[in-house]
Structure 1
C-alpha cells in the first residue's frame, strides 16, 4: 500500500525574489556575532538560497561570552519582576508576528506550516509561563534552621553567568527561545549557537527579545560549523544547555565535567506508542499518524515504534494505514499540507539506509517507502513497516524521519516490557482507558508519557518537567527545574545566641548529653 499525497504547492512566502523578504533576512543576518566567512543558508524544500550569515571564529565566540558575562552583572541586579516583564512582552510579540515567524521557520526547515505553528505556540506559552512563575521561583525562601529560633536559614538563587545554548535544526525557533528565556529570567546572559542550516530562526528570536526590551549584549547568536563553534562555546560558557544526538551529548557532557560546569541536555529518542485492546481505535490511528509523521518524523519526542495488542492488530493497522494514505505531503506555505520536507540529503540518506537494511532483513513495507523528488529534493513518503527484525538498525536506532514500524504484542505486560527495552527513554505514548493509561504509564521508562495523545499533551504542559531517562538526556526543561537549573543555590544561615559548642564552664560530656537530648526532641517534630 502506498500513501496518496498532494501535488506540489506554491513556493513559500519567504522568497529571495521578494525584495522585502531578502531585506528582512539580511537584517537578521546582521545580528549574528562573527566576521568570518559567509555561510549560505539553503531552503531544503527546493534548494534555493535564502541568504548568507557570517560565521564566528573560536576567538569571536569566546569574546561574545565575555561580553555577555559583562552585561549579565547589571541584569542580575535587575528585579525579577522587571525581567519577567520582558518575557511577557516577548510572548505577546511572538503571537503578533506569527506569520513572519512561520515564514522563516518553513523556509529554513521545509516543514509544513502546521508543524511550524507548534513552535510559535510553544515559545509564546513557555515565555508566558516563566514570566508568571520566575519571580516566585527566584525569591529567597526561609528553610528550617539547625535549631529553631536560634538559627535563621535562607535559601537564595544566583544566576550561573553566561549560558551557552546549543540547538539543532529540527525546531529552530522553539529550542533557542524556550531554552534562553528561562535562563535570562534567572538573571543570566545567553549565547546561542544554532545549527548552521537554520540560523535565521534563532536570529529572529534575538530580534524579538531585543524588541521586547532585553538590554544589549545579554543575548547573542553565533553561527559556525558544529565541530568548531559548539566546542568553542562549551569551552567559554558557564553552563551549557544542549539539544542533539546522544553521541554528541556524551562528548559535551564529558567536557563540561572536565571544566566542572553545569550541563543539561535533551538527546535522542526511540519512542514507543502502545495501542492496547481497549483503545479507541479510530482515535489511536489518527493520533498515531499525526505523532509519527509530525515534522516529517524529525522530532525527538515523536514515536518510531508502535506496539499493538493482537486483539486489535488488524483493526488498528487498517485504520492507521488509511490515515497515512490520506496524509497530504506538500511544499509551500499553505495550511493544507500535513507533512513537509526532510532537512537535507544526509537525513534523506539515513532514512533510505534504515529502510533498505530493514527490508533486506525481512521487513515488509505497508505504506510509503519512496522518495518524492517531484515535490522537492528531500521529500519522502510517510512509511509504515511490519516484521522488522531485531537485527535491523531501524529496530533500535533513532531514524529521525517519516518511518515507523508496527509490532504485535500478546499482552499489556509484553507491551510495557518491549517499550522499556531500549537504551533511550525520552517520550512514550499509550492508548487505552484513561485510568488504565495512568496506571501503566507510570511503569514506562520515559521522561514524559502521554495517554491518548502522541506527544503534545506532555510537551504543552509547561508547568511540568520534560526530559529524558537513560541515554535520552540529563536534566529537564519546563517546570521549576527548567529555570532553577540555570541558578546556583546558596544557603545563608544566621546563628543567634546559642552556640554550637559547650557553654563556659560546661564539660564536653555534659554538652554531648544535652545536645543528644535536644536532637531527640527535634527528631520528633521535623
Structure 2
C-alpha cells in the first residue's frame, strides 16, 4: 500500500487510484509534529501513532506520567483565575472567532482527522460541521445560559434571591479516538465559555487532531494556559486526570465509564459520561423504502460504524422487509472503500487491529451459528490493512455476540416485526439507550413511536444527525449509555456550580416586633396559606 488514495467497491474488489492524492508525509511533517506536541505536558517517554490507511508510523509523540498530570492541573489552576474573571461575552467571542477559523482552515483538520482515524473525508467533515455548530451555539448563547437569575424568595419582596453560575474550576476531559475533533474541542468549548480551564487526555492515536484544535483556539483568543494536554496509556494517565479534576467529562466505553464514575464519586466531584450503544432503527410499514435505505446506509456505515450513535440493529416491518433489504443491500454493495485524502470514498478504514478483530469476530461467529450475509462480510486487505466491508447480517439470534454486544464497526443486524408494539419492545430490549431512529411517512406517528423508545435521542426519518446537530437540544444516553448531556443548557451548566444568594430585607426570618414563638408560628401559618391561595410558587 502507498499513502495515496485508493477506492474500490465492495462488490468488485478492484481499487482504483484517483489523481492528485496527497501523501501522509506531506501533511504530518516533523515540523508540524514538533510544533503541536510542544503543548503536551511531559517529562519524558515517547510513543507512536500509526496511520490506519497504511499501518505505517504517523507520528512520534511524548508521553505523560501521573506526575505530569498533576503539573498540568497546577498550570491550569493558575491560568483559570484570570479566565474566570473575564466577562462571559468576551469568552464567548473567542468561540465565534474559532468558528470562523475552523471553516476557513478546514482542509488542514480534515487531512489530520483522515490520517489519524482512517475515515472517509465526508465523514471527517461531519466533525467540522459539529464543531462549528457548537462554537456558534455557545458563542451566541453562553451569556444567556450563564446570566444571573432572579427567583421568588420565601417572603416575596422581602427576600431577594439570585442564582449565580460559578465555574467548577479545572475540568478533566478524556476524549476518544473515533471523533477526535468534535469530541475533544467540541466538548471543551462550553467548559471554556463557562469560565473553566481544561486538562485533556486525548487518545494517543488521534492526539494531533486535538493539539491542532488547541492551537487554533489559542489563535482565536483562548489563553494558552487554560487548555493543558497530557498523553499516555488510558490505565496510567486516565485515573490521574480523574484524581485531580473538579469535574470529569468522559466519552468512551461503558466499562471504562463505570471506572471513571467510581473515581469521581470517591472524590465527590461530578462527571458526565457518554458511553456505548446498541442503537436501533425502526422501518415502519408506511416508510418510504428508498429514503429509509439511503438513511440506513448513513446511519450504519458513517465513519465505518465507529460512532456511538451508529445504527447496529435494524427492525423492518415484514410487509416491506423484502423490498427494503433489496434496496439497502444494493446501496451497501455499491459503497466505495477508500484510503487517503480527498472526497470520493463512501467509507474508510477501521482505526486499529483491535477494532478489526472485534468486527471479524462478531461476523464470523454469527455466520458460523446460522446468520446470513446479505452484503459484505469480509476484511479487505487489498484496500488497506484495517478495512472491513460494510456488512448486513440476517438471521441473527440472541446467542450470537453481535446480537447484544456493541460491535462499533460497519455491521448491522436485520430483524423483522409485525406490529409496532413488538418493534418498540425489541428496540428497548437492551441495557443501552443512546440513540434510535424511526422511519415513517406519518411524522406524528413517527414522533409517537419515538417517544416510546428508551433512548436519549430519537430521530424521525434520519439516523442520528438531526438530533446531534440540533445543538440547542440535549444529547446523551440512558441506562448503560451514560450520565449527563452535551449540547443545550445542560451542556454548559454541567460545567458550573449553582450558587444561591438570598438577601433578607426589613424583617428577619424569625420572631420579631415583640411576637412570641407561638404568635410567630400563627403568623407564618397564615402567610403560607395566603401564598398558596395567591398561587405563588
CA distance in 2 between partners of 1:143 and 1:112 (Å): 50
- Deviation of 1:125 after TM superposition, in Å, equals 1.1
Match of 1:345 in 2: 353
Match of 2:276 in 1: 268
Q: Specify which of 505, 520, 525 is matched with residue 516 of structure 1.
A: 525
Match of 2:341 in 1: 333
Contact persistence 1:8–1:331 (CA under 8 A): no
Match of 2:496 in 1: 487
Is 1:451 matched up with 2:460?
yes
Match of 1:27 in 2: 35
CA distance in 2 between partners of 1:415 and 1:371 (Å): 32
CA distance in 2 between partners of 1:508 and 1:229 (Å): 59
**Once superposed, what is the RMSD of the aligned Cα atoms?**
1.5
Match of 2:214 in 1: 206
Deviations 1:150-175 (A, max 9, x none): 00000000000010110111001110
CA distance in 2 between partners of 1:237 and 1:133 (Å): 26
Q: 1:11 to 1:110 in 2, by over 3 A?
A: farther
CA distance in 2 between partners of 1:357 and 1:201 (Å): 35
Taking structure 1 as the reference length, what is the TM-score of the superposition?
A: 0.98
Deviations 1:169-192 (A, max 9, x none): 100111011111100000000011
Is 1:196 matched up with 2:222?
no
Give the 3-state SS of the residue equivalent to 2:224 in structure 1: coil
Q: Specify which of 508, 518, 529 is matched with residue 499 of structure 1.
A: 508
CA distance in 2 between partners of 1:82 and 1:451 (Å): 38
Written as runs of structure 1 = structure 2, the 5 A alignment for 1:20-419 is: 21-419=29-427
Q: 1:206 to 1:190 in 2, by over 3 A?
A: same
CA distance in 2 between partners of 1:481 and 1:86 (Å): 21
Taking structure 2 as the reference length, what is the TM-score of the superposition?
A: 0.96
CA distance in 2 between partners of 1:12 and 1:379 (Å): 22
Give the 3-state SS of the residue equivalent to 2:338 in structure 1: coil
Q: 1:458 to 1:73 in 2, by over 3 A?
A: same
Match of 2:444 in 1: 435
Deviations 1:126-169 (A, max 9, x none): 01100000011111110110111100000000000010110111
- Deviation of 1:26 after TM superposition, in Å, equals 2.7
Structure 1 window deviating more from structure 2 (15-24 vs 194-203): it is 15-24
- Deviation of 1:484 after TM superposition, in Å, equals 0.3
- Deviation of 1:243 after TM superposition, in Å, equals 0.1
Structure 1 window deviating more from structure 2 (259-268 vs 354-363): it is 354-363
Deviations 1:441-495 (A, max 9, x none): 1111000000000100001000000000000010000001000000000000000
- Deviation of 1:334 after TM superposition, in Å, equals 2.3
Q: 1:359 to 1:239 in 2, by over 3 A?
A: same
Contact persistence 2:435–2:464 (CA under 8 A): yes
Deviations 1:196-255 (A, max 9, x none): 111000101110111111112000111101111111111111110000000000000001
- Deviation of 1:303 after TM superposition, in Å, equals 0.3
Contact persistence 2:27–2:111 (CA under 8 A): no
CA distance in 2 between partners of 1:255 and 1:40 (Å): 28
Contact persistence 2:10–2:336 (CA under 8 A): no
Q: Which stretches in structure 2 are left out of the alignment for 5+ residues?
A: 1-8
Match of 1:475 in 2: 484
CA distance in 1 between partners of 2:202 and 2:195 (Å): 22
Contact persistence 2:41–2:71 (CA under 8 A): no
Contact persistence 1:341–1:380 (CA under 8 A): yes
- Deviation of 1:38 after TM superposition, in Å, equals 1.5
Q: 1:440 to 1:185 in 2, by over 3 A?
A: same
Q: 1:69 to 1:121 in 2, by over 3 A?
A: same
Q: 1:9 to 1:463 in 2, by over 3 A?
A: farther
CA distance in 2 between partners of 1:453 and 1:70 (Å): 45
CA distance in 2 between partners of 1:9 and 1:29 (Å): 33
- Deviation of 1:397 after TM superposition, in Å, equals 0.7
CA distance in 2 between partners of 1:2 and 1:118 (Å): 23
Q: 1:243 to 1:9 in 2, by over 3 A?
A: farther
- Deviation of 1:34 after TM superposition, in Å, equals 1.1
